Amino acid sequence: MKIALLLSAAAVALSADVVMAEPQSASPVLSGTYTVQLTELCQAIVNASTNPITHDLSGIAALNSGKMGISVGTVNFDPGTGLATVSMNRVNGSALVLNLLNGTEGQPMADLPLQTQTASYSNTSTLFTFNGTQYYAYYAAVSPGMKIAGSVVFGGLETTGCATSGTLTRQ
């Protein structure tokens, strides 16, 4: 009798928790202003030619000098419109700079002025998409109730040979 009564009380408590529990959102929400830090890396591709007889290096050319960049700034996410406005300062240049007899291939690092862009965004529990480019995403400090992400770490391929990683921290 005591066992049945205890089981009944446990079932009532469990069903009360289920009824009173908030619906769980599958994806954290990106909303409001976040600081953003991005790192962009693109592979450099170099062709080297050798003398067929001596096998000495006879020429070198960069088919693609690659790219490296660091960006910092803010992004404002509006979940109602699905638009994000990003304002960032960037330092950008080639991953490889060759000083050759016939000139320089590649671009030295340069400090670029503040750039602002508005683009569409979306996210799921594992992915973040900005302006059509999809990244793997890991969320932290998700608020209870509204499920607003406090921070996000993301990364993925921009284009073939180019990877981007970044962090977002809610302000």
- pLDDT per residue as tens digits for the range 15-28: 444 344 444 446 99
Tell me the domain boundaries of the chain.
24-43+70-97+109-170
- Residue 79 three-state SS: coil
| Mean pLDDT across the chain | 85
User: What is the C-alpha separation between 34 and 37, in angstroms, rounded?
Assistant: 10
**47, 87, 39, 89: which is closest to 67 by C-alpha?**
39
pTM for this model (two decimals): 0.76
24-43+70-97+109-170 is classed CATH 2.40.128.50: yes
Is pLDDT of 169 > 60?
yes
Residue 103: per-residue pLDDT: 77
